[in-house]
Amino acid sequence: MALSTEESGRLAALLGEQDERVTTRWTEIVTSSLRGRLSQAELRRQVQDLHRAIVTTSEQGVIDLSADSAAELRAALSELSRGRARQGFSATETTISIFALKDVLAELVQEAGGPNALHDYVAFSKLVDEMGLFTFESFVRTRESLIADQAEQLLELSTPVVKLWEGVVAVPLVGTLDSARAQVVMERLLQTLVDTSSPYAIIDITGVPAVDTQVAQHILKTVVAARLMGADCIISGIRPQIAQTIVALGIEFGDIATKASLADALRHVLRLTGVETARRQPRRGI
């Protein structure tokens, strides 16, 4: 769907000769579609960049969007879509900036007239379609990478392993425990056990809204893995409704110690390690 040398020559002439008018009209159409969410000046600059890229590319002869000669044009298009994707514009609002060029071209071709008018317009139109699709694809790519980044950040955010005491680490689980997160939790916990050479780990599920068989299985696997490394695990944060649900489901935690709260779990571990906790006697007479 490349443009032939004559066609691109005519395109270059058409867009190049009246560049001021083309960019102004183009900016106008795009501005109305975005309803003032981008400043006129910024839009104008983007349109000018695109315009320049198209003219430069078409002056070189054959335009083929996938060829090396169109690298500058592709860069301009992906820069535009990347910017729009990051600013939270929709796919339509992004690609319309490209498709607006069709309206401009229709006006120009009509004015210029000539025997090739229809043929040229169809050819230019195809090029604009191709540019639009390319923009759309890079828009989607940018969005996907944004989502992937966020998912990764979320994984990092939501799975801290904290040291509670000498030899005691805790993992407060919050939210949904799917396979990906369970894997991260297990890796973190096992690594922290090694790094801090802790013999005890507390897995706190206060923040997990529903404990179903999948969640239970993930927790059980983590406990078994920690045991293989010589560490004892205590599961804490089992609220009454969770306890009743676990019983009804028929999940068995076997000989794994479970406690209602993190404080109970810590006290349990401290007792096991022989640490005595006592209240200081209040002083009298002062």
Partner 1 sequence: MTADIDLGQPQAQAVQSDEDVVRVRQLVRAVAVAVKLSLVDQTKVVTAASELARNTLVYGGGGSVEVATVDNGRRKGVRIVFSDSGPGIADLDLALTDGYTTGGGLGLGLSGSRRLVDEFDIETSTETGTRITVTKWSR
Residue placing its CB nearer to partner 1 in the complex, 156 or 212:
212
User: Rounded CA gap, 11 and 9, in Å?
Assistant: 5
Residues 147-176 as x/- pattern, contact with partner 1 by CB under 8 A: -----------------------------x
Q: How many CB atoms lie within 10 A of CB 104?
A: 24
Give every CB contact of residue 87 below 8 A, 6+ residues apart in sequence. 38
User: Rounded CA gap, 183 and 196, in Å?
Assistant: 20
Paired tokens of 285: 């007479």
Residue placing its CB nearer to partner 1 in the complex, 145 or 179:
179
Q: Which residues pair with 169 in a beta bridge?
A: 163, 201
Find the shortest distance in angstroms from Cβ 252 to partner 1.
9
Q: Which residues pair with 201 in a beta bridge?
A: 169, 233
Residue placing its CB nearer to partner 1 in the complex, 219 or 266:
219
User: Rounded CA gap, 29 and 48, in Å?
Assistant: 14
In this chain, which of 29, 62, 91, 251 binds partner 1, going by CB under 8 A? 251
Residues 207-226 as x/- pattern, contact with partner 1 by CB under 8 A: --xxxxxx-xx---------
Residue placing its CB nearer to partner 1 in the complex, 141 or 239:
239
Cβ(241)–Cβ(209) below 8 Å: no
Residue placing its CB nearer to partner 1 in the complex, 92 or 150:
150
| Selected range binding partner 1 among 123-131, 134-142, 187-195, 236-244, rule: CB under 8 A | 236-244
Report the site for partner 1 in 93-122 (rule: CB under 8 A).
none
Number of residues that bind partner 1 (CB under 8 A): 20
| Selected range binding partner 1 among 160-168, 196-204, 238-246, 271-279, rule: CB under 8 A | 238-246
**Rounded to whole angstroms, what are the CA distances from 286 to 3, 108, 119?**
96, 96, 102
Q: How many residues does the chain have?
A: 286
In this chain, which of 240, 254, 274, 285 binds partner 1, going by CB under 8 A? 240
Find the shortest distance in angstroms from Cβ 242 to partner 1.
6
User: Rounded CA gap, 121 and 1, in Å?
Assistant: 14
Find the shortest distance in angstroms from Cβ 181 to partner 1.
11
Residue with tokens 């109305």: 32
Contact residues: partner 1, CB under 8 A: 176, 178-179, 209-214, 216-217, 240-242, 244-245, 248-251
